[in-house]
Structure 1
């Protein structure tokens, strides 16, 4: 027998491990085989960076919302946007889950964002740069949902989910 949440068209929301700094990293996700998200610029309020780290290979990419490469994401060291993204992902999902998703092998003990980033260092900045557009698009869609008034009524754009029926 399926649980109620498994029969609904909504996804169960996992509460964050700790509160995040939404002004710094308004969007972070573990998706498409990457840790990816949007990080605010420290110098320009209208600029954001789309940053990502691939699971397993740790190849990373960071560029502005206008597809200009981040000046700090060169060589084999993460830029400050990638470090900030990892820190916020740990706050949202927990260090163990982030490390497991990225396939970072860490010895037993206290796992934190710095440890995860240190284990992934030394990787080339040859990440998938085409991922920036879909990530930024999902971020904008996320912002649109935040502007909606609270309601329990279904959203028409999410009605394409097929109804599920219990198999007898």
Structure 2
């Protein structure tokens, strides 16, 4: 016997592990083998940084939305990456983030434990810069927030083509 949400076209939303304040890190996700997100600048309200840390290798990247490199991420994690990891822990829970990144922390990890375990392994800057794709997904999420509440289907969310009725 299936529940009503399993038969609907709407996906069930998993609530965050703990409530987040979206002003500092408005977007964070576990995707493409990385924890990645958008982090607000502390000094310029018009600037955001796109930060990421790869699973297993802990290769990291941080740059502005205009693809200028972050000055603090030259030799290790910058404050933007630290804030992004902390918010990922709030959004997804520490166990899930540690498991996704393949971090060995021993016991129940905190955001600090996860970041400390990664920096202890001497992470290197990433060769691929995922900033454009991450920032594009962030902008797409913002566009969905501007839509009026509706139960009507969204064309870009329909993954399967409509079936034709038999003639």
TM-score (norm 1): 0.89
Equivalenced residues, count: 161
Whole-Å Cα distance in 2 between the matches of residues 10 and 57 of structure 1?
Answer: 36
Consecutive aligned runs of 4 or more in structure 1 exceeding 6 Å deviation? none
Match in the other structure for 1:166: none
Residues of 2 paired with 1:102 and 1:14: CA distance?
20
Q: Mind listing any 5+ residue stretches in structure 2 that lack a counterpart?
A: 163-167
Q: Greater RCO between the two (CA within 8 Å, min separation 6)?
A: 1
1:141-165 superposed Cα distances (whole Å, 9 cap, x missing partner): 00000011111221122224357xx
- Find the aligned partners of 1:51 and 1:158 in 2 and give their Cα distance: 26
Q: Cα RMSD over matched residues?
A: 1.8
1:95 — aligned with what? 94
Q: How does 1:1-168 map to 2 (within 5 A)?
A: 4-75=4-75, 77-108=76-107, 110-121=108-119, 122-129=122-129, 131-162=130-161
**3-state SS in 2 of match to 1:57:** coil
Whole-angstrom distance in 1 between the partners of 2:105 and 2:96: 12
Rate the CA distance shift 1:48–1:38 in 2: closer, same or farther, 3 A.
same
- Distance in 2 (alpha carbons) for counterparts of 1:161 and 1:2: 21
Could you list the runs of 5+ residues in structure 1 that have no partner in the other structure? 164-168
